[in-house]
């Protein structure tokens, strides 16, 4: 359907200041949640672009910013769902683009969340991730306006047949929270100012600051990531964010 722009897997938000909003109960202390990304103006990573594709430059960012070390959790998203429930369009009320897979619509403005989902990462639609950023920007105010502008102007959100999405994709310049751009995420996950030695910057192939592919599996079995872990072996979804303490 021509609905929310894209699915953001386990939404990660950037904050503009370390005095970030204190979230609901979280598996790591709030003081440790935000990583400051320095070295403004770093050189981008150059990759081999396929013929006809845009020139392969990623990860160059000319300003400092902060990014959350962990994904948005089910309990954090549940707080947002409950706050936005009085204002959400009926066509989205029971869609996972809004609720995520962790939260069930029980009718009207009522939702429930299984306790086991409280500290799992969520997967939601881009339109609602943007509204979540707006809500945080507006200090979680419980007014319809608080969800519709701040980081993104949701009046631009829509889909035109034959044209595509009309969404404002770039954040407002004064946004306090926003969805990371690809360059911001690449820099956060792969750039190292001392990659090749002190003062010799570069990029790691994997976001674990390594050239070796991380091991898939539960942390208690030596796993470093849930990605690529065979479904047949179970426990594909790690119980909570920040489960891989050794590779954060």
Are the C-beta atoms of residues 54 and 227 closer than 8 Å to each other? no
Enumerate residue ranges in the chain where pLDDT < 70.
1-28, 48-55, 228-239, 248
**pLDDT score recorded for residue 33:** 86
**On the CB side of 165, how many CA atoms lie within 13 Å of its CA?**
13
Beta bridge partners of 225: 216
Name the E strands within the chain. Answer: 7-9, 14-15, 34-37, 45-46, 57-58, 65-68, 103-107, 110-113, 123-125, 159-160, 164-165, 177-178, 191-192, 202-203
Burial class (CB in 10 A: 0-12, 13-18, 19+), 160: exposed
Q: What own/partner pairs with CB < 8 Å and gap ≥ 24 does 22-28 have?
A: 23/73, 23/76, 24/73, 24/75, 24/76, 24/79, 25/75, 25/118, 25/119, 26/70, 26/73, 26/76, 26/119, 27/70, 27/73, 27/119, 27/240, 27/241, 27/242, 27/243, 28/69, 28/70, 28/242
**pLDDT score recorded for residue 85:** 98
User: What's the Cα-to-Cα distance from 21 to each of 14, 40, 199, rounded to whole Å?
Assistant: 12, 24, 33
DSSP conformational letter for 95: -
pLDDT digits (tens, 9 = 90+) for 189-243: 999 999 999 999 999 999 888 999 888 877 887 888 877 655 545 444 566 788 7
pLDDT digits (tens, 9 = 90+) for 152-163: 999 999 999 999
């Amino acid at each position: 359907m021509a609905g929310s722009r894209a699915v953001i897997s386990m939404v990660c938000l950037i904050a503009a200041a370390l005095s970030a909003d204190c979230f609901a109960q979280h598996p790591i202390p709030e003081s440790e949640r935000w990583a400051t990304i320095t070295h403004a103006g770093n050189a981008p990573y150059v990759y081999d672009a396929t013929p006809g594709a845009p020139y392969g430059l990623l990860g160059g960012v000319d300003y400092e910013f902060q990014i959350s070390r962990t994904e948005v959790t089910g309990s954090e998203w549940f707080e947002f769902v409950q706050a936005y429930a009085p204002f959400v369009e009926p066509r989205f009320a029971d869609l996972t683009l809004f609720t995520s897979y962790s939260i069930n619509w029980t009718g009207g403005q009522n939702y429930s969340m299984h306790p086991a989902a409280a500290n799992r990462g969520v997967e939601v639609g881009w339109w609602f991730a943007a509204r979540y950023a707006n809500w945080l920007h507006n200090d979680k105010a419980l007014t319809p306006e608080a969800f519709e502008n701040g980081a993104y102007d949701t009046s631009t959100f829509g889909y035109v047949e034959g044209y595509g999405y009309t969404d404002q994709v770039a954040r407002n310049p004064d946004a306090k929270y926003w969805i990371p751009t690809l360059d911001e995420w690449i820099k956060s996950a792969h750039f190292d100012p001392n990659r090749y030695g002190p003062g010799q910057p570069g990029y790691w192939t994997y976001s674990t600051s390594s050239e070796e592919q991380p091991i898939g599996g539960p942390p208690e079995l030596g796993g470093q990531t849930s990605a690529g872990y065979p479904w047949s072996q179970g426990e594909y979804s790690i119980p909570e964010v920040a489960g891989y303490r050794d590779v954060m």
